[in-house]
Amino acid sequence: MAINLRTPELDLLDLLMPWVFGIGIVGFLAAWVMMTILERAGLTRFIWHVPLFFLGLFVLLTSLLGFLFHP
């Protein structure tokens, strides 16, 4: 099962999923890791609304990954 990154669908166990779904998962995990690092460093105390910041970071990272790896 080879993953071809230049097709609009991912074939996972005979289930075709949109490629954006995979990008969204990677963007979510990257935002989660970045927020964990910020929390461990104590930098989230300077953020007014942490869940809103996380959502913005998720959208930013997902958009950048989608832009860079668009099929």
For residue 53, the number of C-alpha atoms closer than 13 Å in the C-beta half-sphere is: 14
* Cα 4 from Cα 26, distance rounded (Å): 16
Q: CB under 8 Å to 6, separation ≥6 — which residues?
A: 71
* Tokens describing residue 49: 């609304």
pLDDT tens sequence across 42-56: 999 999 999 999 999
Contact at 8 Å (CB) between 31 and 58? yes
* pLDDT number for residue 5: 60
- pLDDT classification of 2: cutoffs 50, 70, 90: low
pLDDT tens sequence across 11-33: 778 888 888 888 999 999 999 99
pTM: 0.80
Contact at 8 Å (CB) between 49 and 56? no
